[in-house]
Amino acid sequence: MIATRHKAIQHNVSDVHFFRSTETEEVTELDARLSQAHDVVLVAIDGKNSDYEMNGADALIETPQYFFAILKQTNSTDDATIANAQEASKSIASQIIAYMLRDQLNRMNGLDDLDASSFTVRGIGPFGDNFYGVMLGFNLKPNVNYEVDEIVWEE
């Protein structure tokens, strides 16, 4: 929904600006997929990474980690152009954060468990044909049922 609704990204089936990726996907594979894109793209990355912790009471908390790469294509590799692309991408990241926090507040789009204090933004690039931008990271904190399922264990 973010990729289709944000005006700078404007993903649709005939003009692709959104990709899904895993953390283990080779950079060359992502570069190849980006070769069909232009302007601003959003890459959703789910590497299936999680941390676990006890909440101090009786609940085990899983903290899945997710990332969005927000990339803007540039026409050169000079420092000023890269900085401008990263600043534009960071502005988009700020709006995505605001959108996600609004959805969390309204209990929409599966963001009930969003950890609002987990957002990170880091500069990245280059990818593909001079794409530079930022990596937006965030965590969810759902409670985990940690009762042993006897069916899956041998005595």
Residue 64 is which amino acid? P
Write the DSSP string, 56-97.
Answer: SSS-EEEEEEEEEEEEEE-S---HHHHHHHHHHHHHHHHHHH
Does position 83 have pLDDT exceeding 80, yes or no?
yes
Residue 141: name the closest of 120, 112, 119, 121 by CA: 112
Question: Domain boundaries in the chain?
Answer: 2-50+66-136
% of the chain surpassing 90 pLDDT: 38
Residue 96 is which amino acid? I
What pLDDT was estimated at residue 25? 56
What pLDDT was estimated at residue 141? 79
Average pLDDT of the chain, as a whole number: 84
What is the rounded average pLDDT of the residues 25-45?
77
pTM of the model: 0.78
Q: What are phi and psi of 35, to 5 degrees?
A: -65, -20
What pLDDT was estimated at residue 148? 78
